[in-house]
Chain A
């Protein structure tokens, strides 16, 4: 019989191996899934794991999708490590996109390139504002931040719909619910010709370094970690739990808002009801698969981006529904949660 035995110390090796094993299990279940659906499993794996990296263009598309995931997940890592459960990054992402669009829509033919930093700052402030509502309700009324932040996602979606169906609708847009296409001066500068990768990728990589330094090399970051690991110890040390709450939510909200701004003024170029793409929710998985560690999150963001692209390709190549992306994301998260058992326990055979 299989038996779980507590390890004397959590295994550091399994801390790293668990995400890899989870990925392997996801692949195995994926193969079974393809076979059951009557698709060629080898072809299926190719679509998910080879096509997204087989050419420079494919790689650049991978980066385009990975960038917002990475930025949002970095913010969430700070938040989750502080024991603050912001589930509403999708809403903060949307409000960031709306604030950024508001600035972008003011541009005309005479606008200078200063508009770009203004758009980015507006996006960050938008995300912070939306997360700040959650922080305020939690701080003042002890409202549960999981529920509040999640419900605010749906409020944010309605705000977006109101704007694109109402005041911000493009008068020349044949009554489609969307704003006019932003002026080209508002386009986030691209890194190279012929691909959609923009400076957002550089901002994301700078964010990796910044979050790493903040969490592991500064006293303020240490305070956040202690508040998450042992609230009574944080109180004993004198770290304010209110301050930690606000830092956590404003950081993750600001990051999500930044991702929204980069997306709406980058690849999308206008505000439509299709801006919410689930990045805010997928980033939760990215953050956990990446062990809430900035470097780990880089890898998990790329992986999750593969699932997005693979899911899109699976529609055209294999005739599978788009929800296959969600299936893979869910499989990975569940496999990871199961594999994490091995960090604290070991398996023993016994008669």
Chain B
């Protein structure tokens, strides 16, 4: 047997109050694409940081190419031939691609030489990118290419990718997989961190599953099913969702002619958005982040009140200039993407965080009834199965998934007529995600209108009745979920719904014909 590229034995890392890794062992062969699968909080990130040298393990040994090594910092890791592409990019928006790559390299090369080697690497792996373009003009997928090129220029023997597909369109994911397979065929080992089961089964040749900081299984993902992998990952199969027949009623949210310039210089301007959500249906908006989702949600929630008069109607009333409080009074409740700092105040207790959107524990003159508030919070904690240290626990002491359950519970318990949810299960583990989707569907069945904005196509397919795609600040026409395919959505994500190409345009013509008739 050949010497493994990387071998971890008995890695343990304790943080105050939590053991992030407990006796973790992992072996990666040369040229292997090795998946590290686990829920949020399973210890994947800590393990990768240990390999990359930014965290020191308390116990355990690291062997690289058969030699015991003590990686003390990322520079040493890169010198050994270990590179990492982080989930959140570390690029300077105002610099060009070449300048950004140059910043991360030894200063032995000139900028021109770096540009030349970017071109060579880019063409070698099919990672098209112009080194002279400023980073803020790139799409997210292109930014990721810059990060990968930066990693490749150090000639790595081991490349670590942390949730690389979370921001990509399906087409971009396929391109990425081609690149990774080529790299692996040349002998570079790849550690692929993800919780997306189908991707791992498609791409990886080995898989180590983590749960609660411990290894719960080592397998060949190509021989496993989604169900068997998720059993290893969460200890049980995720509860299946039952989707019932559509029973849509009157329009609750009507958006028409919503054109709005972004107040952020790097933001996306909204152009002539039209959208209807009826009671009893879930409408999904797909799209790669940064295409106007946050601007649209700001305008819908009332956090941005500059929408043209009459462009946003809630239960038939013009709400375009209303603030969030007035819109809530009309029955519009909103779960934002950022939980800490926007959906909840990090340092305040869960009970106090109820007051952000709920006013039912207020007495005369705005007096806070703390007892009622705590009872309400306790109720939500129990009903939504939130793991928290009681109603007095600070919001930031909860894990992302549990805080999301609490926030979703807070908005659902307000009995909204229209619920708008952004990234309902972003960064949430599989069990909690299934629960949140279940709650959303239950709300829909109870006659609420629901608008979901998400980057996760699987999720939108699972819960939506109709789908829109947002691209570059424009919103596509809606399609029934039955007509939606990954390919068509992917095409629309590039903004191609009215270009005369393929099925998408035919469908669009049909729709406009309907509208004209």
Contact = CB atoms under 8 A, between A and B. Distances in A.
Please say whether chains A and B are actual partners in one complex.
Answer: yes
A236 interface: yes
A7 B394 CA distance: 15
Given A9-B397, A237-B357, A238-B328, A232 B15 contact: no
Q: Which 3 A-B pairs have the closest CB atoms?
A: A238-B324, A219-B366, A238-B325
Contacts of B356: 226, 233, 236-237
Interface in A180-239: 216-220, 222, 225-226, 229-230, 232-233, 235-238
B365 interface: yes
A167 interface: no
Interface residues of A, number: 22
Given A217-B368, A219-B359, A229-B345, A8 B303 contact: no
A142 to B, nearest CB: 13
B302 A230 contact: no
Given A5-B16, A219-B362, A222-B352, A235 B303 contact: yes
A237 B18 CA distance: 33
B345 A230 contact: yes
22 contacts: A6-B16, A8-B16, A8-B18, A218-B367, A220-B366, A226-B345, A226-B356, A229-B348, A230-B346, A233-B342, A233-B345, A235-B303, A236-B303, A236-B324, A236-B334, A236-B342, A236-B343, A236-B357, A237-B325, A237-B355, A238-B325, A238-B326
B345 A218 contact: no
Given A219-B368, A222-B368, 13 more contacts: A8-B18, A216-B368, A218-B365, A218-B366, A219-B355, A219-B362, A219-B366, A229-B345, A230-B342, A232-B341, A233-B356, A237-B355, A237-B357
B174 interface: no
B17 interface: yes
Given A229-B345, A236-B301, A238-B324, A222 B17 contact: no
B292 interface: no
A235 B370 CA distance: 23
A207 B338 CA distance: 37
Contacts of A233: 341-345, 356
Interface string B328-371: 10000010101001111111100010011101001001111010
Contacts of B342: 230, 232-233, 235-236
Interface of A: 5-9, 216-220, 222, 225-226, 229-230, 232-233, 235-238, 240
A293 B24 CA distance: 47
Interface of B: 15-18, 301-303, 323-326, 328, 334, 336, 338, 341-348, 352, 355-357, 359, 362, 365-368, 370, 394, 397
A8 B17 contact: yes
Nearest to A216: B368
Contacts of A217: 367-368, 370
Contact of B346 (A7, A219, A229): A229
Provide the main secondary structure of the chain A interface.
helix
Given A233-B344, A235-B303, A238-B302, A218 B368 contact: yes
Contacts, number: 72
Contacts of A230: 341-342, 345-346
B152 to A, nearest CB: 34
A9 B393 CA distance: 11
A5 B325 CA distance: 41
A116 B455 CA distance: 66
Contacts of A5: 16
Contacts of B366: 218-220
Contacts of A9: 394, 397
Contacts of A216: 368
A226 B346 CA distance: 10
A240 B326 CA distance: 12
A66 B74 CA distance: 55
B368 A7 contact: no
A292 to B, nearest CB: 13
Nearest to B325: A238
Given A219-B366, A232-B338, A233-B343, A238 B348 contact: no
A286 to B, nearest CB: 23
Most buried by A among B357, B368, B394: B368
B165 to A, nearest CB: 28
Contacts of B362: 219
A230 B345 CA distance: 6
Nearest to B302: A238
A7 B323 contact: no
A235 B325 CA distance: 10
A237 B324 CA distance: 6
A36 B345 CA distance: 48
Contacts of A237: 324-325, 355-357
Contacts of A220: 366
A220 B365 CA distance: 9
A233 B346 CA distance: 10
Nearest to B361: A219
A97 B17 CA distance: 54
A9 B367 CA distance: 30
Nearest to A227: B345
Given A229-B345, A229-B346, A229-B348, A236 B336 contact: yes
Contacts of B365: 218
Nearest to A236: B342
Contacts of B352: 222
A217 B361 CA distance: 12
A13 to B, nearest CB: 15
Most buried by B among A216, A226, A237: A237
Most buried by B among A216, A219, A229: A219
Nearest to A222: B355
A235 to B, nearest CB: 5
A240 B302 CA distance: 12
A271 B413 CA distance: 60
Most buried by A among B17, B328, B366, B397: B366
Most buried by A among B16, B18, B359: B16
Nearest to B324: A238
A5 B14 CA distance: 13
B171 to A, nearest CB: 33
A81 B365 CA distance: 21
